[in-house]
Amino acid sequence: MSKEVRIKDIGKPSKQLIKLRLEDLMKLPPPYDKPGEEPEMTEPKEEWREKYITELDGYIAIDVPFEKPKTKEEEQRLIQRFLEGLKKLLDKENNWTFLQPLLLSLEFCAKCQTCNDACPIYLSSGKKEIYRPTYRSEVLRRIWKRYLTPAGKVFGKFVSGDIELNWYTIARLAELAYRCTLCRRCTQVCPIGVDNGLIAHEIRKLFSQEMGVAPKALHELGTVQHLRVGSSTALTPEGFKDIIEFIEDDIKERTGKNIKIPVDEKGADILLIHNAGEYLSWPENPAAFAIIFEEAGISWTLSSELVGYDAVNYGVWYDDVQLARIARKHVEVARKLDVNRIVVGECGHAHKALCVVADRVLADEYNIPRESCMPILWDIVRKKKLNLDPEKNNFPVTLHDPCNMVRLMGVVEPQRKILREICPQFREMEPHGVYNYCCGGGSGFAIMTSMNFPEWRNKVATRMKFKQILTAFQDCIDPSIKKYVCAPCSNCKGAIRDMLDHYQATMKCGIYYGGLVELMVNAMVDIEEPFIEMF
């Protein structure tokens, strides 16, 4: 069998390496099994082609100009810069953060392809070669072998395989690093433990840390804005305080409860940090947290200090230096407030960034415990600190497992224990728990909305999740039955919101989405009006 795209083709001078077609993509369950049920795919605009990298698949993740060199010398300079970056990835001081895992993954892949069918992107795309988990890894591996190892320099192609390093290779590799959600499902099945997700992560770092090239949503409007303004949503401390007031009023209106949300209260047990996206897009989520924590008598506070009210850390997706800076800021805020621990709200990547990955960039007084909100919430339900009536949640509910919280952090059971307790029609998706599929918004995709990237996300990256959701609700797929996808993560919610919108699944299938705490408040006996609105 011959395939259209070979590994060496990454360096082939051509307009576009592949073109996705609707009919090639993975089939969806009813009612999407008939033609015409989902939007067609579009062509990239011609003007984009001049400025951005459309040479991979026509989609643009890197929405900053990546100019084509005009002369051979310019191209050589680019190649040199790229190789410099690659050397730094393999250097102890510059990349102690991931040197060992990276080298292991570069050196020991057995090319057995066991990992392929674990990848939702590869499967959803209809097994397009460039999305095979090993494709981008093999490109980087070949460049490393050929240009930076003695064996490659002496024996050339015989040990490295065929690869040419030119503008096309580098530009396409930069885009290709953003066709993987870093979900690491492939790593779970690899017999050697090789990590293709990590390799994508390291390629992103090379471009960001060496060349300053990263999607705007992650860097300029992401980590940079976060550190400068206080939040990657551009929410300022003043804006934050206004929203808190608004949320207090809203709670009063919807529930009749007078709740004063604690902000900047020194000496509390817990500093709770939400993804600031919640305040702007889903304020009912921080509201529900406030209702629950107050009702349960938890000693907690929010922070209004710069960075302290936004738990996100986009650095974890593309830049270790930015990761360290934001994590450090988070703990600085907690230190000033003299809390015992930081607790992260419903945000998966913030969970992993602050509790797991950044655990090793903190030391001395800047190291304080960082934990998930899930065990606290379960504790509240288990100890019956709230008066809950499951009948109030008597509609079909399924749970999406955020990769960062579950596969990459091991917080699996508390959230489902809560759902089993308070949602009589709770059903699992398959597969679930640590074997879940990514929502498709992972690694920054949920917030990357430039040009045609959302189309790629909706068509390819979230397709598997959409299939899972439809399958979980097949017995009640009629739109007149309202159903709820519980996604305890802001980014996942963002991706699911866009997915439902793209496929018009709320209208066609009656599928709604939201967080976990909303379901808890919705079940509270003393709140008369439904807290969750599905209409």
Pick from 116, 181, 142: which is nearest to 9 by CA? Answer: 142
- Report the distance separating Cα 328 and Cα 11, nearest Å: 40
Whichever of 10 and 373 has its CB closer to ligand SF4, that residue is 10
Alpha-carbon separation of residue 158 from 104, 112, 152, 162 (angstroms): 21, 19, 8, 8
Q: Tell me the sheet residues that pair with 512.
A: 484
- Three-state DSSP string of 394-441: CCCEEECCCCCCCCCCCCCHHHHHHHHHHCCCEECCCCCHHHCCCCCC
* Binding of residue 251 to ligand SF4 (CB under 6 A): no
List the one residue from 19, 45, 77, 382 that touches another protein (CB under 8 A).
77
Binding residue for another protein (CB under 8 A) from 148, 280, 296, 321?
321
Residue 70 interacting partner from ligand SF4, another protein, none (CB closer than 5 to 8 Å by kind): another protein
Sheet with 511-514, side-by-side order of all strands: 426-427, 397-399, 483-486, 511-514
Query: What is the residue whose two structure tokens read 């002496």?
Result: 154
Residue 133 binds which entry of another protein, ligand SF4, none, with Cβ cut-offs from 5 to 8 Å by kind?
ligand SF4
Task: Map residue 272 onto helix, strand or coil.
Answer: strand
Q: Return the number of the residue (355 or 527) whose C-beta is nearest another protein.
A: 355
Among 134, 372, 468, 522, which residue interacts with ligand SF4 (rule: CB under 6 A)?
Answer: 134
Among residues 4, 24, 67, 242, which is the contact residue for another protein, using CB under 8 A?
Answer: 67
Contact 449, 473 (CB under 8 A): no
- For ligand SF4, the binding residues in 197-216 under the rule CB under 6 A are 197, 200
Binding mask 110-129 for ligand SF4 (x = CB under 6 A): xxxxxx--xx-x--------
Query: Closest distance between another protein and the C-beta of residue 401, in Å?
Result: 10
Q: Measured from the CB atom, is 119 or 229 closer to ligand SF4? A: 119
Least Å distance, CB 158 to another protein, is 4
Query: Contact with another protein (CB under 8 A): which of 94, 166, 425, 450?
Result: 94
Separation of CA 203 from chain center: 17
Report the site for ligand SF4 in 458-487 (rule: CB under 6 A). none
Adjacent-strand bridge partners of 484: 397, 512
Q: How far is the CB of 178 from ligand SF4 (least distance, A)?
A: 11
**Residue 276 is encoded by which pair of tokens?**
């600031």
Cα–Cα nearest to 405, from 371, 377, 378: 371
Binders of another protein among residues 405 to 464 (CB under 8 A) are: 406-414, 433-435
**CB-based contacts of 293: which residues, under 8 Å, 6+ apart?**
272, 300
Instruction: Name, in order, each residue with C-beta under 8 angstroms of 496's C-beta and a sequence gap of 6 or more.
Output: 400, 439, 441, 462, 465, 469, 485, 487, 513
Q: How far is the CB of 413 from another protein (least distance, A)?
A: 6
- Indicate which of ligand SF4, another protein, none lies near residue 382 (CB less than 5 to 8 Å, by partner kind): none
Q: What's the half-sphere exposure (Cβ side, CA atoms, 13 Å) at 521?
A: 27
Nearest distance from C-beta of residue 240 to another protein, angstroms: 20
Under rule CB under 6 A, residue 354 binds ligand SF4: no
Beta-strand runs (E) in 317-412: 341-344, 370-372, 397-399
| Contacted by 213, from another protein, ligand SF4, none: CB < 5 to 8 Å by type | another protein
**Is 213 a binder of another protein (CB under 8 A)?**
yes
Stretch of 71-79, 194-202, 237-245, 295-303 lying at the interface with ligand SF4 (CB under 6 A) = 194-202
Pairing relationship of beta strands 300-301 and 370-372 according to DSSP bridges: unpaired
- Asked if 342 and 334 touch (Cβ cutoff 8 Å), the reply is yes
**In the range 476-535, which residues lie near another protein by CB under 8 A?**
none
**Interface mask (CB under 6 A) for ligand SF4, residues 153-192, using x and -?**
---------------------------xxxxxxx---x-x
Contact between 192 and another protein per CB under 8 A: yes
Residue 363 touching another protein (CB under 8 A): yes
Binding site for ligand SF4 (CB under 6 A): 109-115, 118-119, 121, 133-134, 180-186, 190, 192, 194, 196-197, 200
